[in-house]
Amino acid sequence: MRISFLIHNAYGIGGTITTTFNLARALADRHDVEIISALRNRERPSITLDPRVRLRPLVDLRHEKDDPRHLRPAKVFPSSEYRYGEYSALTDERIGAALASLDTDVVVGTRPGLNVHLALQAPARTVRVGQEHLTLDHHSPRLRHALRRAYPRLDAITPVTEADTAVYRRKMRLPGVRLQALPNSVPAPALAPADGRGRIVVAAGRLAPMKRFDLLIEAFAPVAAAYPDWTLRVYGRGEERERLRALIDRLGLYNNVFLMGAVTPMESEWVKGSIGAVTSDYEPFGMTIVEAMRCGLPVVSTDCAYGPGEIITHGEDGRLVPVGDREALAGALLELVGDDELRRRMGRTALENSRRYGPAPVVAQAERLFEELLAARKDGRAVTGRDRAAASSGYAARDAVLIAASSVVRAARKARR
């Protein structure tokens, strides 16, 4: 197959970029793969891209940010999308031309605004797949309205969790579009896994308010008081850096908590630690959770919607705590810091359980989806009418079971905590 991915900016750092590069690399073993980057702001990508995967930027901000067309607002990219301010008449023009000229079997969008471009501008002969790396409930009502108008032209939508897929089926009502969860993948680290001896808690991600690194720093204060030889390392860059630096100084944690900046790849840093930590208010998937587990770390995470609860098995390979609960977070960290055997046992289980997010099982799901959509297109059985309605009905029944089961699991977790 010839497969194209359309991404916002392949030259930055973030979960969507990482998982797109991971999937593209795995697919390149058997397919012709390219990544089309709407924007470019540096010479080379921050994250290493497999040399077999072609990278094609459309608008180079280093030279074109003052182009008159880039100063006019976008008309195709929806104005209600979070990144709208970075798009323009120039991006409309370049993305439209790139899609119109595609000679590919499958094209995959990686954020809502780009999925709208696919729906409206990708060739009819090409299978159009819209990935959802956030969650439907995270989108504003205006954006959901725009998506309802455009998404019926897609062949499939792939949220990263089963829970969000169920929400899409229940709220969007798109019987003409295949909805299927496709998790993010993380390759096996090239390094030996952590041995649980390093007295380091590791966290990583964009230094943004929703990641709640302030909560993590506050929760680490009692850990540092009880175990002064333990440290917390936070990797990433973002607008919260100075505020977090001030918080560290105010709490007197400058010898125990360190803002490490952005590091790529992260595996060499994960394996230095013994515990991973995620404290987000919401987490559409949780790439850092999987990355930490793939390196043999148990993860303490907030039990936010939607990803952590599908990745972590509470009490086996990590701990789930209520969102925003500093005391519960500190208690979970103290438990693992103070019990070497428990921490190492959970780390071994995390390593084993995380194998389901390796490239092989995830790429197999993607290939199967793409092949089935291509077969339907070639047979002229597009995904319309009665067959789609029947499929939607069957999915709705399955989702009802999934939602009920999820409620039972969450209730049991809360009871155990």
Residues 82-111, mean pLDDT to the nearest whole number: 97
Confidence label for 380 from pLDDT (cuts 50, 70 and 90): confident
| Percent of the chain with pLDDT strictly greater than 70 | 91
Instruction: Note whether 148 and 238 are same-domain residues.
Output: no
Cis preceding-peptide flag for 265 (omega within 30 of 0)? yes
Burial 140-160 (b: 16+ CB within 10 A, else e): eeebbebbeebbebbbbbbbb
Q: Does residue 405 surpass a pLDDT of 60?
A: no
Residues 153-173, mean pLDDT to the nearest whole number: 94
Instruction: Please give the Cα distance from 78 to 80 (Å, whole number).
Output: 5
Is there a domain that residue 43 lies in?
Answer: yes
272-326: pLDDT as tens digits? 999 999 999 988 899 999 999 999 999 999 999 888 999 999 999 999 999 999 9
Burial 213-231 (b: 16+ CB within 10 A, else e): bbbbbbbbbebbeeeeebb
Query: What is the reported pTM?
Result: 0.81
Q: Does residue 397 surpass a pLDDT of 50?
A: no
Confidence label for 381 from pLDDT (cuts 50, 70 and 90): low
Which strand (E) or helix (H) includes residue 348? helix 340-353
Instruction: Note whether 150 and 247 are same-domain residues.
Output: no
pLDDT on residue 23:
95
The enclosing domain of 267 has a CATH number of: 3.40.50.2000
pLDDT on residue 235:
97
Which strand (E) or helix (H) includes residue 145? helix 141-150
Q: Helices then strands (H, E): number in the chain?
A: 15, 13
- Classify residue 364 by its DSSP letter: H
Is there a domain that residue 70 lies in?
Answer: yes
> Computed over its alpha carbons, how large is the radius of gyration of the chain?
22
pLDDT on residue 403:
36
226-272: pLDDT as tens digits? 999 999 999 999 999 999 999 999 999 999 999 999 998 899 999 99
Instruction: Note whether 274 and 165 are same-domain residues.
Output: no
Is there a domain that residue 267 lies in?
Answer: yes
Q: For residue 168, what are the domain limits?
A: 2-179
Confidence label for 416 from pLDDT (cuts 50, 70 and 90): very low
Instruction: Note whether 338 and 295 are same-domain residues.
Output: yes
Residue 354 CA from chain centroid, whole number: 15
Instruction: Please give the Cα distance from 306 to 284 (Å, whole number).
Output: 5
Instruction: Note whether 23 and 162 are same-domain residues.
Output: yes
